Amino acid sequence: MSDIMTALQSFPRSQFLGGPTPLEHLPRLSEHFDVDLWIKRDDLTGLGFGGNKIRQLEFYFGDALTSGADTVLITGAVQSNYVRAAAACANRLGLKTVIQLENRVPDMDDTYRQNGNVLLGQMLGAEFMHYPVGEDEAGADQALRDRADQLRAEGRNPYVISLGADNPPLGALGYIRAADEIVTQAPEGFDATILATGSGQTHAGLIFGLRALGHKTGRVYGICVRRGPAEQVPRITKLWKSLEKLLDYPLPFDHHDMLIWGGALAPGYGQLGDNARQALADMARFEGLFLDPVYTAKAFAGLPGLLADGTIQPGQRVLFLHTGGLPALFGYQGDL
């Protein structure tokens, strides 16, 4: 076992994944874009409609159980995949969930506010609360802590999964494990890997894992889905430094691995631009697979964008990380 995987053994983990997710070739899109395109199917992590958050939550729930928690609190956008996945994981373990929904996306209709992940959260039996501001991580986290204090006064033992980048990035450990899967499934590597970068834990953990495992070939591009490169670069840097401290493991890379592209972010978080719409249509019509409007459609739009500016070259071997999020499609009926 490698040193980095040995380091992970000291962190408690609740196992929600049944095994590695598939790595599949996309032949028709490979021909369409003139690249050798592969997809890591983390939309198939299984529990509660799956997605990348299941990997992250394995470590948060491991820590929650170690602390004796009976209730988990988490915050996210109205169509957050994270909160839906957390409620599913909590139910698997017999814990209660408090979901806080933040108003991050303006001018959305009732379908957005009632369908998709919101409907699933209700089906899972979560308690809901609301936070009126969309871009206030510190305030949203504090509102969760305030609710946790109320629960303690009622005799319960709450555990808060915080949103802010100042907190220990336990979720990123799940993507060090994902990196180990990728290295095993594709030891020959890739010239480029593309994934969404939002909260940043998937992005930070994957690069940390790939480099710590000696996977030196290939560049990893984080495609902005929530904030632009000027804000995302310091966020990922902070997460890397936090991982270094958390794992007591020296950073296995330098600033050259900070590759962030913001060309698909407009018109903003949770809002579809033309290139994201095209990416969503391409994946469905060429390969029969679905992307979500908030994360993976924008992330996959990075492929033609990076080809157009010459960053990725024709004929290269490219990996796209599909992080799931498909229930959100049903909240975006009006836009789609």
Over residues 185-216, the pLDDT tens digits come to 999 999 999 999 999 999 999 999 999 999 87
- What is the average pLDDT value for the chain, to the nearest integer? 96
Tell me the C-alpha distance between 235 and 215, whole Å: 23
pLDDT at 253: 85
| DSSP H/E element including 39 | strand 36-41
Q: Please, which residues have CB within 8 angstroms of residue 31's CB and are 6 or more apart in sequence?
A: none
Q: Pick the more confident residue, 146 or 257.
A: 146
Catalytic residue among 80, 162, 199, 242: 80
pLDDT value of position 335: 86
User: Are 206 and 174 spatial neighbours (Cβ–Cβ below 8 Å)?
Assistant: no
pLDDT in the model for residue 53: 97
pLDDT of residue 216: 74
Domains 3-51+170-331 and 66-161 in one fold: yes
What are the residue ranges spanned by the domains of the chain? 3-51+170-331, 66-161
The structure tokens 């609360």 sit at 129
Averaged pLDDT, 7-20: 96
Contact partners, residue 328, CB within 8 Å, separation at least 6:
79, 81, 116, 117, 292, 293, 294
Q: What is the pLDDT of residues 140-165, one digit of tens each?
A: 999 999 999 999 999 999 999 998 88
Helix, strand, coil distribution of the chain in percent, nearest 5 = 45, 15, 40
Tokens 């459609």 sit on residue? 297
More confident site: 280 or 217: 280
Parallel, antiparallel or unpaired: strands 36-41 and 23-25:
antiparallel
pLDDT per residue over 79-100, tens digit each?
999 999 999 999 999 999 999 9
- In angstroms and rounded to an integer, the radius of gyration of the C-alpha atoms of the chain is 19
DSSP lists the bridge partners of residue 220 as 193
Fold of the domain built from segment(s) 3-51+170-331: Rossmann fold (3.40.50)
Decide: residue 159, CB within 10 A, 0-12 exposed, 13-18 middle, 19+ buried: buried
Is 80 known to be catalytic?
yes
The answer on pLDDT for 1 being more than 80 is: no
**In angstroms, what CA-CA distances link 285 with 270, 274, 281, 282, 289?**
22, 16, 6, 5, 8
Supply 169's token pair.
């990035």
Q: Which CATH class is domain 66-161?
A: alpha beta
